[in-house]
Structure 1
Amino acid sequence: MNFSNLSCALEYRNYYLRLFMKKIFDKYFDNQYFSNIFAYKDKRKIFSRINNDKLMIGAITGDIIGSVYEFNNIKTKDFPLFSKDSTYTDDTIMTIAVADWLLHGGDLAKVMQHYGRKYPNPMGGYGGRFSMWLHEKNPKPYNSWGNGAAMRVSPVGWYFDTLEKTMEVAKETAMVTHNHEEGIKGAQAVAAAIFLARKSYWPDDFADYDDDRKKRERIKKFIEETFGYDLNRTCDEIRPTYGFDESCQGTVPEAIIAFLESKDYEDAVRLAVSLGGDSDTLACITGGIAQAYYLYKFPLDIWKKVYSLLDKDLQNIYMEFHRARFEWFVHPRWWEPHDVRLIEGSKEEKERLERT
Structure 2
Amino acid sequence: MTPSITQPTCGALDWQLTGHGNIPMNVSLNCQPGELLALLGPSGSGKTTLLRSLAGLYQDVAGHIHSGQDCWLDTRRGINRPPEQRQLGMVFQGYALFPHLNALENLLIPLRHLPRQQALQSAQAWLERVHLKGLERRKPHELSGGQRQRVALARALVAQPRALLLDEPFSAVDQATRQKLRRELALLRQEIQAPTLLVTHDLEEALQLADRICVLHHGQLLQVSAPDQLMSHPASPTVARLLGMQNLFEGRILASDQHQLLLDWLGLPLTLPGQPEFITGQTVQWMAPPQSLLLHRPDRPVPGDKENPVQGKIEELVLLGPHASLSIRPNHAPDWPLRFYVPRHFVERQQLQSGMAVTLSLLADQLHLFSP
TM-score, length-normalised on structure 1?
0.30
Q: Which has the higher helix share?
A: 1
TM-score, length-normalised on structure 2?
0.29
The structure having more radius of gyration, on CA atoms, is: 2
Greater RCO (CA < 8 Å, at least 6 residues apart): 1
Q: Which has the higher strand share?
A: 2
